[in-house]
Amino acid sequence: MTKVFFCLRRRPELSREEFLEYWGKTHGPLAVKASQYSGLKRYIQNWTIPSAMADTGRAIRGTLAPFDGIAEAWIDEAERQRLMDSASGKILFDQIFADEKNFIDMENSVFFAVEEHALID
């Protein structure tokens, strides 16, 4: 099982509300549909929220502005590869990737896979 994170920044012309509405109501259902065909076993949308604690943490650390959200996905890699080799799987993945460009600022977002090491569980 591969776990991936996609740290998202919204397209500059979208408000935070427009971004979250599109991600939740338009793109989210595509991910749910994809789970039936893609090896996607779990998908979580983490919507960032205004927080004095987060503002203080960023100021102390000198970090960048927050992302607008973080997507988490657990993917069965063998199943995903098998489905990517099928015509219907390729069409579905192409739809998802094309849709991401409608609301995500790709150049300022980050996508990566992780290996989880729990220290407190």
DSSP one-letter code for 107: G
Residue-wise pLDDT for 52-93, tens only, equals 999 999 999 999 989 999 999 998 877 777 776 777 777 777
Q: Percent of the chain scored above 70 by pLDDT? A: 98
The mean per-residue pLDDT over the stretch 42-55 comes to 94
Choosing among 3.30.70.100, 3.40.640.10, 3.20.10.10, 1.20.1070.10, the CATH entry for 2-114 is: 3.30.70.100
User: pTM value?
Assistant: 0.85
Break the chain into its structural domains and give their ranges.
Answer: 2-114
**Taking residues 106-111, what's their average pLDDT?**
97
Please state, in angstroms and rounded to a whole number, the distance separating the CA atoms of residues 66 and 54.
9
Name which of 44, 5, 41, 50 is nearest 23 in CA terms: 44
Query: Measured between alpha carbons, how far is 113 from 21 in angstroms, rounded to an integer?
Result: 26
